[in-house]
């Protein structure tokens, strides 16, 4: 049993509650009567096991628009305390799935729960525990960041005193009195991240949070997502940017044409698809040529050369033989590096298989 003490978001009264890891217990502030949910987080290592509780449960979700099936019998769970990536090409159904999870659109079938609350039957309670950042963030151009957050605090019934710390948290304190209409897209996204933090929800759903941003803002948003997760938050975010999903996520679900193609860790997806690591071998003077000695060597799946680097895909048991044969021909090897399989390779292979490719 764990005892958790936290401040009421309405009046800052200290409240204590007891529960076990993974429990979600309704609490009522004895001072102001504000209701909420105490979530007893699972240890990060435990949260990645298949027996961990789920903060978001999606079962058999289908959404049709006349003759178009945008989401087709989609099922997945987001475990408490993890960062979960919903990955797919543009038009795959990611935004439709997210809107359905939040109860923002009517669905044809399926069951969705957020922190144990059914989104159709207990929609108000379900949404209370979620911070949602839509794909296209929009605020009033004539308001400052401070006025904007004060407005959202009033909507949620939260104390306005949280606004300034949240603005500082995302690095916008220097623009606190500027009109939002003068902001760049990256700054608007950061203000969106601050806005979803109001009320300190345990679950965050972020739809393409880094789309269209330059490298500086992508890095900032990535750091904020990691910070939220380190503080115990469960995060579901959608993206078509493969590297960001790979850098952030504990697990990933890949969808295409509304269907779930795969759901697992990046490492396990690569194992399932038999995607092997590549050797990157630096050889001075190679000049993009593939050494003849490797052309007929069995157990090499692929060999490419670019400038003074040789790229060899093969079984691990063959690597030492590749190096030995290159050295015997008199080639000087400056450096050897192993390139692990990427999410991009898994993604391409999965989508190819789904479309009838190899």
Instruction: Report yes or no: 237 and 72 within 8 Å, Cβ to Cβ.
Output: no
Alpha helices by DSSP H, listed for 12-157, are 44-47, 94-101, 123-128, 145-156
The predicted structure's pLDDT at residue 46: 41
Contacts of 44 (CB under 8 A, 6+ apart): 81
The predicted structure's pLDDT at residue 44: 43
Instruction: Report yes or no: 273 and 349 within 8 Å, Cβ to Cβ.
Output: yes
The predicted structure's pLDDT at residue 53: 86
3-state helix, strand, coil in the chain (%, to 5): 35, 30, 35
Instruction: Report yes or no: 239 and 206 within 8 Å, Cβ to Cβ.
Output: no
The predicted structure's pLDDT at residue 157: 87
Q: State the pTM of this model.
A: 0.67
Classify 129 as helix, strand or coil.
coil
Alpha carbon 3 to chain centroid distance?
30
The predicted structure's pLDDT at residue 203: 95
Residue 298 backbone phi and psi in degrees, to 5:
-70, 160
Helix axes 145-156, 185-196, angle to 10 degrees: 30
The predicted structure's pLDDT at residue 101: 95
Low-confidence ranges of the chain (pLDDT < 70): 1-27, 34-52, 270-275, 340-347, 349-358
**69-79 in b/e burial notation, b at 16+ Cβ within 10 A?**
bbbbebebbbb
The predicted structure's pLDDT at residue 235: 95
For the record, the structure tokens of 323 come out as 């190096």
């Amino acid at each position: 049993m764990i005892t958790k003490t936290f401040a009421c978001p309405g009046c800052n009264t200290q409240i204590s509650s007891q529960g076990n890891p993974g429990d979600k217990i309704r609490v009522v502030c004895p001072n102001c009567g504000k209701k909420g949910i105490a979530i007893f987080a699972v240890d990060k290592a435990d949260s990645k096991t298949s027996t961990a509780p789920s903060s978001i449960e999606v079962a058999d979700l289908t959404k049709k628009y006349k003759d178009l099936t945008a989401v087709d019998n989609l099922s997945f769970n987001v475990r408490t305390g993890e960062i979960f990536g919903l990955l797919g090409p543009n038009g795959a159904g990611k935004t439709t799935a997210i809107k359905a999870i939040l109860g923002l659109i009517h669905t044809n079938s399926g069951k969705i729960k957020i922190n144990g609350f059914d989104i159709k039957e207990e929609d108000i309670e379900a949404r209370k525990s979620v911070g949602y950042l839509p794909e296209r963030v929009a605020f009033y151009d004539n308001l400052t960041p401070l006025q904007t957050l004060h407005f959202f605090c009033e909507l949620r019934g939260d104390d306005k005193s949280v606004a300034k710390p949240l603005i500082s948290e995302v690095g916008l304190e220097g623009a606190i009195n500027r009109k939002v209409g003068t902001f760049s897209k990256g700054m608007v996204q950061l203000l969106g991240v601050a806005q979803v933090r109001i009320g300190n929800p345990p679950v965050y759903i972020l739809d393409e949070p880094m789309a269209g941003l330059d490298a500086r803002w992508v890095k900032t948003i990535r750091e904020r997502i990691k910070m939220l997760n380190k503080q115990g938050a469960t995060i579901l975010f959608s993206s078509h940017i493969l590297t960001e999903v790979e850098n952030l996520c504990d697990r990933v679900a890949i969808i295409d044409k509304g269907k779930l193609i795969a759901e697992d860790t990046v490492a396990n997806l690569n194992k399932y698809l038999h995607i092997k690591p590549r050797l990157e071998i630096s050889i001075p003077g190679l000049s993009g040529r593939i050494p003849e000695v490797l052309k007929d060597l069995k157990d090499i799946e692929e060999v490419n050369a670019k400038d003074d680097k040789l790229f060899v895909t093969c079984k691990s048991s063959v690597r030492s033989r590749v190096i030995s044969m290159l050295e015997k021909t008199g080639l000087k090897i400056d450096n050897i590096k192993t390139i692990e399989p990427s999410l991009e390779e898994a993604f391409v292979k999965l989508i190819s298989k789904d479309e009838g490719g190899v």
